[in-house]
Amino acid sequence: MFVGDSLSLNMWESLACMIHSWAPNAKTAVIRKEGIAEIVFLDYGVRLLLYRTPYLVDMVRENVGTILKLDSIISGNAWRGMDVLIFNSWHWWTHTKSSQPWDYMQEGNKLFKDMNRLVAYYKGMYTWAKWVDRNVDSSKTKVFFQGISPTHYEGKDWNDPTKSCKNEKQPFFGIRYPAGTTQAAIVVNKVLSRIKKSVHLLDITTLSQYRKDAHPTSYSDHNTLDCSHWCLPGLPDTWNLLLYTSLIS
């Protein structure tokens, strides 16, 4: 089961296509129910599930508005009993003003109109970490964290400040990516260091930073600039090769 935002969707779709290319004649079924999308390869008993939850922690509607609960993860009940869990979250933590889907953050009994997003991300991720420790049986379930998927909206990240990903058709070829390690990746590593259960980091960040050419904006007629998601076939296939290597090692 992939659990997370639209970057989880990117990776889920990639894996489904990769399996289909290996077994093109396999019978399949697509099931959607209660917020979960599922692709079943019937001949092999393989189920690929996707649970969309951009923050991992709960977001609920109350009288005062929509609240992002940094210390609540009741939705995790749907993730139990899986053979493999691949978690992801960061993309939506950066959304502000009209593009954010919540009105308040809550921790304990305190409501916040906003707070430093890296601080909020750490709090939410630590809630997720505690959920893993309390609910995952490592002898039955393998847990992965997808890692931070970088964006390419600002060319200064690769020393070309007038550019974005638009019309980029070549990767970055330098020895070291100029923007360096993202602050979100540092938060992820800090949280993972506190988890007692076995969680494997799919460290996709650096290899993805080099792929400013791999976003759909450069290859579509849409006017909207999308330097967050990835083309398929494309980079998420490499993420899944890392997942496969980790599963069989």
How would you classify the pairing of strands 142-145 and 199-201? parallel
Using CA atoms, how far residue 206 sits from 49, 119, 211, 242, 248, in Å, is 27, 23, 9, 13, 23
Q: How far apart are CA 155 and CA 161, in angstroms?
A: 4
**39, part of any domain:** yes
Read off the pLDDT of residues 166-189 as tens digits, 9 standing for 90 and up: 999 999 999 999 999 999 999 999
Look at the chain and report how many structural domains it folds into.
Answer: 1
* 229 in active site: yes
Asked whether the beta carbons of 209 and 147 are under 8 A apart, the reply is: no
Let me know if residue 225 belongs to a domain: yes
| Structural domain containing residue 193 | 2-56+76-97+131-248
Q: How far apart are CA 138 and CA 198, in angstroms?
A: 7
Q: Which of 91, 152, 215, 229 is catalytic?
A: 229
In a domain, 117, yes or no: no
* E strand or H helix at 188: helix 183-192
- 63 lies in some domain: no
Cα–Cα separations (whole angstroms), residue 51 to 3, 12, 39, 203, 204: 5, 10, 12, 21, 20
| Residue 155 resides in a domain | yes
Active site residue 226: yes
Tell me: the pLDDT tens digits for 16-36? Answer: 999 999 999 999 999 999 889
Q: Is 114 in the active site?
A: no
Q: Which of 71, 103, 226, 237 is catalytic?
A: 226
pTM value?
0.96
